[in-house]
Structure 1
Amino acid sequence: MLDLTSLRADTPGVQHVSHFNNAGASLMPQPVIDAITRHINLEAEIGGYEAAEAQKEAIQGFYTATADLLNTTADHIAATANATDSYARALSSIPFRERDVILTTTNDYVSNQIAFLSLQKRFGIKIVRAADEGNRGVSVDDMADKIKSLHPRLVAVTHVPTNSGLVQPVEAIGQLCQEHDVLYLVDACQSVGQLPVDVSRIHCDFLTATCRKFLRGPRGMGFLYVSEKTLAANMSPLFIDLHGAEWASVDAYRLEPTAKRFEDWEFPYALVLGAAEAHRYALKVGLDAIAERNAALCATLRTELAQLPGVRLLDEGAQLSSIIILYSEQKSAADLKSALSARKINTSISTHGAAILDYDRKGMKTAALRISPHYFNTDDEVALLIDTLHHAFK
């Protein structure tokens, strides 16, 4: 069982707000804050280059801590500015040609879909979306059929969509991709930190994530996992700089052998150190314990929220995550968020444009309220949120 007293003592923000916006940006724990401010102060005292040199060993800790999160090794981790940056770097390393197929789902992240549309516009690739299996997420059988018939250049799946409590079967899809030797890209932006994520079981070639959400790290940091197969094939981002490659001769360069070929030279090292501390913190708390606590919080919330008048919960799937989408035609999401904010309860809004395919299917025409609890939330905070929404619907 988690020690909520200690966890909340480590979290200054809980003194000021009840935070149910962890799918947006979570509250940083004190060790993360301390790591960031120590390095900022060091840069102020001795200079930015000099501070980075002095903290060289600690900076490498980012790679080992991130690797430990994903059950891999540090040479397969690249540090990036955010999950979308990671995703773009991965996509740019794939030599797409006209009529290549990207096989994805109807529950992908909006920025990913826009990136696919941009590739379609520029290179003439084809976007194919596998069918869902009722309300249980993407059909693994349909994925299998389409992989066999279409021979996609890339399979891309969002593990936990930002607009739904759905958890997609990324491991089963990864097995298919491995069997058919298809590149596999997983967006784990909303899953790492709230659920155990093991790249050795997912069998992905790329996995992207951010540090600010359920990992409780700082904004402005993300990471990219790159498989051994991908590195051995000499895949690299389209625009590579002096950090990712060595200028070997006038007309040639030599790739960095590790995933760092996907990085740029410049980093906000204070944030790198803060993110490393956040990843160690999650590992110390325990990802299984976090997932168990989040499931209990969400079970209570979903039961209570479903009793509100005229409310629909849009979460579907055989397994549900720590994202709850509440839709009402009686009260706007903006009004509900405002009522919660008045009592210092943080939530966020999920717009129709964030998930057109999914929300059209569910009949959602306007915005919905997104509630995303995390393990440090208390039962009292849950009760306050429910009570506030009950009053908002009166």
Structure 2
Amino acid sequence: MTSVPTADAGSDHAASPAFPDSIDVGYERAQTLGAIRSHHFNAAGSALPPAPVVSRVIAHLRLEEEIGGYEAAARARDEVEDVYSAAAQLLGARADEIALFDSASTGLRVLLDALAPAPGTRLVASRSTYVSHALHLMTMNRATEVELVVAPTDEGRRISIEALDEMLSDGRPTIVTVAHVPTSSGLVEPAAEVGRVAGKHGATYILDATQSVGQLDIDVKAIGCHVLATTGRKFLRAPRGTALAYVDAAFAAEHLPTAPDVRGAQWHSAFDWEVAAGARRFETWEANVAARLGMGVALRQAITRGMPATEVWLSETASDIREALRKIPGVTVADPVGAHAAIVTFVIDAVAPAQVVSELAAKQISAVSVPATHGQWDLGDRGIPSVVRISPHVYNDQNDVDALISSIAAISAGEAGTA
């Protein structure tokens, strides 16, 4: 392994070979308390937030304590507005095309329901679909006269663009929904190619970017999706309970929320109301203002760090981890061929993933096990009951990676309790 940078205590700059002046790992670690207390490899679950994010949340809570929640929100109004601008800048959108939610699952549910698919509509979902969204799709399929189809895949288990093109050529009303990066592997779906095919055939395109925003450089206009939803807590390093969605302006204008709220609608006569323009028509009034302000800081940090550099650094780091794991006897990397996102999955012969995670935790290494129940169309389809998931971020250095690899080797060798 050569491309994972080490934070050098004698230097204020540590960098990736591909972008020697782009990712300052020493700086990222210095502002990340958890990075010096453990080896954290769970960015795909909930990344370590940087100190400025935490400080902003606490400061607003203190203001609420002092003057009240409504009054504190009024003072922060301009900064909250900047959250929309920052999200738009990160995604290549307009501020009026951004909606804020408490979770990506909420955003996906609200926006899919707003489509109100008519009987005979076809729902085409990627095998990479996460359990929460899959359950919604299956419920919609069971409760209404819509068809649910799992999209055909290629040899790398990505959506087959050729097969999708052929499928959509019949002209049926179709909603295509894709998980950009799944919870269960480092696969990256061909999002822009899906967008080209969906646009060609007039299909509606929803992108679940829960695991990609913050690690991949994303331009929604280039991708061609009508809707993108993501969480704050993962690779964006924002607080839990935050999320955002991009809603194409034309899509927003044509669709209404199924449960309008005072945030996105005005009740102007006894039995009539008018919804707001833009993506905010899908929002609700109540929100954790402190957490949203923290997300704004996280968004600005991601923009400043630079997403092209971040994407390459994370991809190379994950690639090095996969390469190292493949050299350990008894360890099998579970990622599909060609996977290159900052999520690495593996199994160890005769050691349950949950036990691996427990033994790693005893060595201050954070990882998670992902069961097939979180991705039946992926792990279940492959006959894999569960995997160990590793997901690095820019605060991980070579010492972290060395500790991870040596610990996994020890577990595989049956050396429980050893480094």
TM (norm. structure 1) is 0.97
Measured after TM superposition, the shift of residue 216 of structure 1 is: 0.3
Write the distance in 2 (CA, Å) between the matches of 1:369 and 1:152. Answer: 39
State the Cα RMSD in Å.
Answer: 1.2
- Counterpart pick for 1:374 among 393, 397, 401: 393
Give the match for residue 311 of structure 1.
Answer: 331
Give the match for residue 212 of structure 1.
Answer: 233
Write the distance in 2 (CA, Å) between the matches of 1:219 and 1:121. Answer: 32
Write the distance in 1 (CA, Å) between the matches of 2:332 and 2:271. Answer: 60
- Counterpart pick for 2:409 among 377, 390, 393: 390
Write the distance in 2 (CA, Å) between the matches of 1:150 and 1:307. Answer: 49
SS at match of 1:88: helix
Give the match for residue 56 of structure 1.
Answer: 77
Are the equivalent residues in 1 in contact too, given 2:228–2:246 (CA < 8 A)? yes
Give the match for residue 17 of structure 1.
Answer: 38
Are the equivalent residues in 1 in contact too, given 2:226–2:251 (CA < 8 A)? yes
Write the distance in 2 (CA, Å) between the matches of 1:315 and 1:236. Answer: 39
Give the match for residue 168 of structure 1.
Answer: 189
Measured after TM superposition, the shift of residue 90 of structure 1 is: 0.6
- Does the alignment pair 1:102 with 2:102? no
Mapping 1:284-295, distance limit 5 Å: 284-295=304-315
Are the equivalent residues in 1 in contact too, given 2:227–2:248 (CA < 8 A)? yes
Per-residue deviation, residues 215-262 of structure 1 (Å, max 9, x unmatched): 0000000011100111231x1221111111111222221110021101
Are the equivalent residues in 1 in contact too, given 2:114–2:256 (CA < 8 A)? yes
Query: In structure 2, do the counterparts of structure 1 residues 111 and 75 end up closer, same or farther at CA, with 3 Å as the change threshold?
Result: same
Measured after TM superposition, the shift of residue 124 of structure 1 is: 2.4
Corresponding pairs, count: 392
Unaligned runs of 5+ in 2: 1-20, 414-419
Measured after TM superposition, the shift of residue 94 of structure 1 is: 0.7
Unaligned runs of 5+ in 1: none
Are the equivalent residues in 1 in contact too, given 2:334–2:387 (CA < 8 A)? no
Measured after TM superposition, the shift of residue 317 of structure 1 is: 4.8
Measured after TM superposition, the shift of residue 343 of structure 1 is: 1.0
Are the equivalent residues in 2 in contact too, given 1:314–1:362 (CA < 8 A)? no
Measured after TM superposition, the shift of residue 22 of structure 1 is: 0.3
Write the distance in 1 (CA, Å) between the matches of 2:178 and 2:386. Answer: 24
- Counterpart pick for 1:346 among 366, 389, 398: 366
Write the distance in 2 (CA, Å) between the matches of 1:319 and 1:337. Answer: 22
Per-residue deviation, residues 111-135 of structure 1 (Å, max 9, x unmatched): 1111011101211211012211112
Give the match for residue 416 of structure 2.
Answer: none
Give the match for residue 8 of structure 2.
Answer: none
Write the distance in 1 (CA, Å) between the matches of 2:144 and 2:382. Answer: 32
Measured after TM superposition, the shift of residue 338 of structure 1 is: 1.2
Write the distance in 1 (CA, Å) between the matches of 2:133 and 2:284. Answer: 21
Write the distance in 2 (CA, Å) between the matches of 1:272 and 1:355. Answer: 29
Measured after TM superposition, the shift of residue 175 of structure 1 is: 1.1
Mapping 1:133-144, distance limit 5 Å: 133-144=154-165
Write the distance in 1 (CA, Å) between the matches of 2:85 and 2:149. Answer: 36
Per-residue deviation, residues 147-173 of structure 1 (Å, max 9, x unmatched): 112624311111001111100001011
Write the distance in 2 (CA, Å) between the matches of 1:326 and 1:318. Answer: 15
Query: In structure 2, do the counterparts of structure 1 residues 144 and 317 end up closer, same or farther at CA, with 3 Å as the change threshold?
Result: farther
Write the distance in 1 (CA, Å) between the matches of 2:26 and 2:138. Answer: 47
Give the match for residue 55 of structure 2.
Answer: 34
SS at match of 1:149: coil
Give the match for residue 69 of structure 1.
Answer: 90
Are the equivalent residues in 1 in contact too, given 2:185–2:339 (CA < 8 A)? no
Measured after TM superposition, the shift of residue 360 of structure 1 is: 3.4
Mapping 1:68-87, distance limit 5 Å: 68-87=89-108
Per-residue deviation, residues 192-237 of structure 1 (Å, max 9, x unmatched): 000101101111111000000000000000011100111231x122
Write the distance in 1 (CA, Å) between the matches of 2:378 and 2:80. Answer: 40
Write the distance in 1 (CA, Å) between the matches of 2:64 and 2:381. Answer: 51
Q: What amino acid does structure 1 have at the position aligned with 2:80?
A: I
- Counterpart pick for 2:284 among 264, 280, 303: 264
Write the distance in 1 (CA, Å) between the matches of 2:85 and 2:212. Answer: 19
TM (norm. structure 2) is 0.91
Are the equivalent residues in 1 in contact too, given 2:319–2:340 (CA < 8 A)? no
Give the match for residue 203 of structure 1.
Answer: 224
Write the distance in 1 (CA, Å) between the matches of 2:200 and 2:39. Answer: 46
Are the equivalent residues in 2 in contact too, given 1:157–1:187 (CA < 8 A)? yes
Write the distance in 1 (CA, Å) between the matches of 2:66 and 2:304. Answer: 31
Measured after TM superposition, the shift of residue 99 of structure 1 is: 2.5
- Counterpart pick for 2:200 among 164, 179, 187: 179
- Does the alignment pair 1:4 with 2:22? no
Structure 1 outlier segments of 4+, above 4 Å: none
Give the match for residue 89 of structure 1.
Answer: 110
SS at match of 1:39: helix
Are the equivalent residues in 1 in contact too, given 2:129–2:377 (CA < 8 A)? no
